[in-house]
Amino acid sequence: MSNSILESTSGESTAMSADKPVSVTVMSMQQALNRALDEVLAENPKAVIFGEDCGRLGGVFRITDGLQARHGAQRVFDTPLAESGILGMSVGLAMAGFHPIPEVQFDGFAYPAINQIVCQIARMNYRSRGTMPMPITLRVPSFGGIRAPEHHGESLEALFAHVPGLKVVSPSNPHEAYHLLKYAATRPDPVIFMEPKSRYWQKGEVDFAADGDAPTGSKVMREGRHLTLVAWGAMVSRCLQVAELAAEDGIDIEVLDLRWLKPIDAAGLAASVRKTRRAVVVHEAPLTSGLGAEVAQLITQSCFDTLKAPVERVTGFDVPYPSGDLEDEYIPNIDRILFGIQRVLEYKRG
């Protein structure tokens, strides 16, 4: 891999252990995703990256910045403004033995491609009895928080997770973004990789040598005793903020990053809630038929005898995802999450 990524990354440091050197770098999620893609292209000659402005410009969020210069215009290239065509081309490339890594520029632009995603990408392996796998990693800048106009902020996880044949994952920080994307790009199945665009500029440590940290299942981001906050994507950082505030009042909150939204880590979810005996699920999507309903059902199914209160959901509202000037009213904020925690902690059985 070229050193140019490392040279442009601020705050890099290498920590030495007794056994071997461990490279720990402070970088943004954007930089972590860029490095993961750089390494995937270097390691897999069949990997190709494409999408609107992904080539010379490096993407609207610069996730693919510099990749065309390093790996060539045949492996990192621009496409027309046609999401259905981008995903249709992905099907053909996968059938020809490539590992396509397409990008939909904004989550709201994925709607024109739903037919290709649901009717072709998700089903081709089944339709062909396993002779035509679809190793496609679809990157989707997702959720709100950047004050963008309409159709530039959506929460489509429930739509994708409902479709058999698709896997769905969302990272919450730079470390998770790097390892989850590298893992997703080696899967033989189609993976919808939902990147929380409001966290692209969040910086954090990335341990590139964390081989033991398998990027499968959920992950406890903060240990706690009194209640489990379940979240994914950008809401994980917000829940960690809430947990710190709750600790000032003596409330010990566990924060569980679901990471994989399809398949959901039911065992990890149950293990956390069995310990705390209470749960609040937080997501940006609307309440009705949101993924939080599935999470709540899994918790109830596994932990019914130990739960001290019904599972609470703190979510967006049942309205179209608003444009930027109303985002603060729509996205679950710290106060709304704290009120949800309070309702669960104060619940009394009749």
Alpha helices by DSSP H, listed for 189-277, are 234-247, 266-276
Enumerate the active-site residues: 152
Query: CA–CA separation, 131 vs 342, rounded Å?
Result: 52
Q: Which residues contact 162 (CB under 8 A, 6 or more apart)?
A: none
Q: What's the CA angle centered on 144, arms 151 and 232, to 5 degrees?
A: 125
Q: Which residues contact 18 (CB under 8 A, 6 or more apart)?
A: none
Residue 338 tokens, joined:
């704290």
- CA distances (Å), origin 90, targets 36, 94, 122, 134, 318: 20, 6, 12, 9, 33
Q: DSSP per residue over 127-195, as a string?
A: HTTTSS----EEEEEES--S---TTS----HHHHHTSTT-EEE---SHHHHHHHHHHHTT-SS-EEEEE
Helix (DSSP H) and strand (DSSP E) numbers for the chain: 13, 15
Rg (CA), the chain: 20
